[in-house]
């Protein structure tokens, strides 16, 4: 039987209705047989060449409209009888005649060149980021660059890589405010749905969620509560069992050991095991989901807090990889999201990215590793939903102070926005001081960064800034306290590498050594005062991993001040170290991750005591550690002043007689090598 020759057809020739119904299509145009029979409108997917041509024509037309609008504005200010107006009209008509000719060829990235202000010109980085975006066969934007194996051919240009996203903020705020009316009902339904879980009682589940939103959620703010509770109640995309179990596991760190509701959960390890199993299912999805990224960020913080820093680092890295897989780190992707997402979806995306950015900087400080997420397509001020700021914050599940604590505005979104701004400065701190050899650090950059830090604190809203910690009757909510403590810690870290110079006969008179001694001593005292205020109100309970890091950083200065020749400074350093040791001992019960920091301080104290023939303070510190009271007697603060004035023109040149380092620039622009800090 002779074989019948079949005409080969191009893949994807079917019309859109047949594709949707998965019917066999004959591909006839303008109407296929199936559409004629069913009476549907037959339409075919536009070819890439047609899409490209239409795109270029649109760009060309938009440029022409802008040109004509500019001409009309100029005509409005000219005398219509003047030669200038006649010449302008003639030029516009001539241009119109030229533009009515054949369309420009449909080439990738082609289109009219539009003059833009210099401030809006595309930078090299933006051009590279544009090249990393592509459009798949379904019209979805993907994060695959030009060398990717997932690109079969060149893709149409996505427009100006440096285009600034334009949104109607008033419209977005009204949308978010309107949705906030339903928040209470969503939250109520979400808590009611907890009764469906046979493994966790509704009472315990509610307590864990409330504990997380009170003590852990407000600072890094990676979970947008309205979307979370809405989708927890309705089964939407911003909720997942994985995220819920991670929140449970993290909140269990702060439960009382004798609370019968949580006895079987092993400080959260029970929920952690469930979350790890659920994570396997999430990793099997084609694309990462927002709740998965949120859960990984929380899980990273939780594991660091319990002493498993390697796990925490890896979970955080996985979350950052997922964020980049979605292209959320690219400015152009932000522009596309604005065009596609509703205001609440966009708010959730912005908060997710900014949270990852801020947590990445916090983890970089705590572990001493370079930041992984350096792009910032979202400005911290773009957080628009401030409805939660008016909520009343109370220290839930701290029975001894819950009723006595005055009602205080949470200000969680406002705090988060300023925390992200401080994270930008933390990123610059690492790049300025800790990301290069010590003899390559430029002093002028240090001075400039200090000016920016102090400017940040000056601009901080009064409701967030704590200028006089001694005057506080009650400590503000922990996320507000942490923002202030971190600011002082960053200032301390800026000069800490140069603090040992104050005890070196060759270096102590150098300008940066004088500045480092004044700033580090003053900031260490302030950090300690903040901890005393926190301990006075909250009894050093429910502290975050970041707060524990700040107190340890201050202790690295106080540990050196013990050997200060000034007896008063030395004595006060001992008192502050006693506070630090008591605080860390208390917190280590809930945050085992601080145990290593505590052991390092003790080891340093023992080695210093053994190295000295007449120890003045080792006995006092040992006695202080044996005290049962969480808060040692307060000591009077010594006024270290503000150091020498910050001035970019200040004399930072080093004395030439002691410069003997190799490859040293004799101009004094660089700091000489310093001893590596092991702690």
pLDDT band at 73 (very low <50, low <70, confident <90, very high): low
Residue 396 has phi, psi (to 5 degrees) of: -60, 145
Q: What's the pLDDT at 250?
A: 96
> Quick check: 664 pLDDT over 60?
no
Strands 141-142 and 408-409: unpaired
Burial category of 644 from C-beta neighbours within 10 Å (exposed 0-12, middle 13-18, buried 19 and up): middle
Inter-residue contact 463 to 414 (CB < 8 Å): yes
Q: What's the pLDDT at 643?
A: 37
Q: What's the pLDDT at 507?
A: 78
The pLDDT tens digits for 80-113 are: 445 555 555 556 555 544 544 444 333 333 333 3
The pLDDT tens digits for 246-261 are: 999 999 988 888 888 9
Q: What's the pLDDT at 458?
A: 97
> Quick check: 7 pLDDT over 90?
no
Q: pTM for the full model?
A: 0.70
Q: What is the mean pLDDT of residues 469-487?
A: 95
Distance CA 391, CA 210 (A): 13
The residue written with tokens 């019917």 in the block is 23
Distance CA 134, CA 336 (A): 12
Q: What are the residues whose beta carbons fall under 8 Å from the beta carbon of 522, sequence distance 6 or more?
A: 640, 641, 642, 643
> Quick check: 156 pLDDT over 50?
no
What are the C-alpha distances in Å from 626 to residues 173, 451, 531?
54, 42, 19
Least confident of 202-216, 300-314, 507-521, 663-677: 663-677
Q: What's the pLDDT at 167?
A: 67
pLDDT band at 612 (very low <50, low <70, confident <90, very high): low
Least confident of 211-225, 495-509, 554-568, 622-636: 622-636
Q: What is the mean pLDDT of residues 182-194?
A: 91
Residue 142 has phi, psi (to 5 degrees) of: -125, 155
Inter-residue contact 395 to 214 (CB < 8 Å): yes
pLDDT band at 380 (very low <50, low <70, confident <90, very high): very high
Q: What are the residues whose beta carbons fall under 8 Å from the beta carbon of 591, sequence distance 6 or more?
A: 253, 305, 306, 543, 545, 548
Least confident of 236-240, 262-266, 540-544, 583-587: 583-587
Helix (H) or strand (E) holding 93: helix 83-99
Q: What is the mean pLDDT of residues 66-80?
A: 62
Q: Which residue has the higher pLDDT, 633 or 331?
A: 331
Q: What's the pLDDT at 166?
A: 60
The pLDDT tens digits for 262-300 are: 988 998 999 999 999 999 999 999 999 999 999 999 999
Inter-residue contact 396 to 210 (CB < 8 Å): yes
> Quick check: 4 pLDDT over 70?
no
Least confident of 208-217, 449-458, 631-640: 631-640
pLDDT band at 592 (very low <50, low <70, confident <90, very high): confident
Least confident of 140-154, 319-333, 398-412: 140-154
Q: What's the pLDDT at 644?
A: 34
Least confident of 346-355, 547-556, 573-582: 573-582
Of all residues in the chain, what percent carry a pLDDT higher than 90?
Answer: 38
Q: What's the pLDDT at 407?
A: 87
Q: What's the pLDDT at 102?
A: 43
Burial category of 115 from C-beta neighbours within 10 Å (exposed 0-12, middle 13-18, buried 19 and up): exposed
Q: What's the pLDDT at 57?
A: 80
> Quick check: 36 pLDDT over 70?
yes
The pLDDT tens digits for 548-568 are: 899 989 988 988 888 777 888
Least confident of 37-51, 501-515, 660-674: 660-674
Of all residues in the chain, what percent carry a pLDDT higher than 70?
Answer: 70
Give the mean pLDDT of the chain. Answer: 77
Q: What's the pLDDT at 389?
A: 92
End-to-end distance of the chain based on CA atoms, in angstroms? 86
Least confident of 80-94, 113-127, 401-415: 113-127
> Quick check: 662 pLDDT over 80?
no
Inter-residue contact 317 to 360 (CB < 8 Å): no
Where would I find the beta strands (DSSP E) of 130-253? 134-135, 141-142
Least confident of 114-123, 133-142, 387-396: 114-123
Q: What is the mean pLDDT of residues 454-470?
A: 96
Residue 478, both tokens: 């922990």
């Amino acid at each position: 039987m002779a074989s019948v020759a079949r005409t080969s057809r191009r893949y994807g020739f079917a019309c859109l209705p047949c594709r949707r119904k998965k019917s066999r299509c004959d591909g006839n145009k303008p109407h296929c047989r199936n559409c004629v029979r069913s009476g549907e409108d037959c339409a075919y997917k536009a070819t890439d060449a047609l899409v490209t041509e239409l795109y270029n024509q649109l760009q060309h037309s938009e440029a022409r409209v802008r040109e004509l609008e500019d001409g009309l504005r100029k005509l409005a200010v000219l005398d219509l009888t003047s030669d200038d107006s006649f010449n302008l009209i003639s030029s516009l008509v001539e241009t119109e005649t030229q533009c009515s000719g054949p369309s420009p060829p449909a080439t990738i990235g082609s289109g009219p060149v539009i003059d833009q202000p210099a401030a809006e010109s595309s930078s090299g980085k933006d051009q590279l980021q544009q090249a990393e975006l592509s459009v798949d066969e379904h019209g979805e934007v993907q994060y695959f660059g030009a060398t990717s194996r997932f690109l079969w051919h060149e893709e149409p240009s996505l427009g100006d890589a440096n285009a600034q996203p334009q949104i109607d903020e008033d419209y977005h705020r009204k949308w978010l405010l309107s949705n906030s009316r339903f928040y209470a009902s969503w939250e109520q339904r979400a808590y009611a749905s907890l009764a469906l879980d046979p493994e966790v009682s509704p009472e315990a589940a509610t307590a864990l969620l409330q504990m997380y939103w009170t003590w852990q959620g407000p600072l890094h703010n990676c979970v947008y509560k309205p979307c979370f509770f809405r989708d927890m109640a309705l089964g939407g995309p911003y909720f997942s069992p994985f995220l819920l179990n991670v929140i449970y596991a993290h909140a269990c760190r702060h439960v009382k050991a004798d609370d019968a509701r949580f006895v079987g959960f092993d400080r959260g390890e029970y929920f952690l095991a469930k979350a790890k199993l659920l994570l396997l299912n999430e990793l099997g999805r084609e694309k990462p989901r927002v709740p998965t990224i949120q859960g990984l960020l929380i899980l990273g913080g939780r594991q660091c807090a319990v002493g498993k820093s390697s796990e925490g680092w890896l979970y955080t890295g996985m979350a950052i990889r997922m964020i980049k897989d979605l292209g959320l780190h690219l400015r152009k992707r932000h522009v596309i999201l604005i065009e596609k997402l509703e205001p609440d979806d966009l708010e959730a995306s912005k908060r997710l990215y900014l949270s990852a950015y801020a947590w990445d900087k916090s983890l970089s400080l705590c572990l001493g590793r370079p930041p992984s997420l350096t792009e910032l397509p979202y400005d911290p001020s773009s957080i628009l939903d401030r409805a939660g700021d008016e909520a009343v914050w109370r220290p839930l599940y701290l029975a001894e102070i819950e009723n006595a604590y005055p009602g205080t505005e949470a200000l969680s979104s406002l705090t988060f926005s300023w925390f992200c701004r401080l994270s930008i400065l933390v990123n610059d701190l690492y790049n300025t001081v800790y990301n290069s050899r010590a003899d390559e650090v430029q002093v002028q950059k240090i001075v400039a960064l200090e000016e920016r830090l102090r400017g940040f604190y000056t601009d901080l809203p009064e409701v967030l800034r704590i200028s006089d910690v001694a005057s506080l009757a009650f400590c503000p909510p922990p996320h507000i306290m942490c923002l202030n403590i971190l600011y002082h810690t960053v200032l301390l870290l800026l000069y800490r590498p140069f603090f040992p110079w104050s005890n070196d006969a060759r270096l102590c008179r150098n300008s940066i050594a004088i500045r480092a001694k004044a700033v580090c001593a003053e900031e260490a005292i302030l950090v300690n005062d903040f901890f005393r205020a926190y301990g006075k109100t909250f009894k050093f309970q429910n502290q975050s991993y970041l707060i524990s890091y700040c107190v340890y950083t201050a202790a690295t200065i106080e540990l050196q001040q013990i050997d200060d020749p000034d007896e008063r400074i030395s004595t006060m350093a001992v008192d502050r170290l006693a506070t630090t040791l008591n605080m860390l001992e208390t917190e280590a019960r809930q945050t085992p991750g601080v145990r290593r920091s505590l052991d390092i301080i003790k080891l340093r104290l023992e080695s210093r005591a053994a190295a000295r023939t007449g120890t003045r303070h080792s006995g006092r510190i040992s006695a202080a550690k044996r005290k049962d009271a969480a808060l040692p007697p307060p000591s009077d603060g010594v006024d270290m002043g503000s150091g020498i004035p910050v001035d970019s023109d200040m004399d930072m040149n080093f004395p030439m007689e002691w410069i003997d380092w190799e490859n040293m620039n004799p101009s004094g622009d660089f700091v000489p090598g310093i001893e590596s800090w092991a702690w």
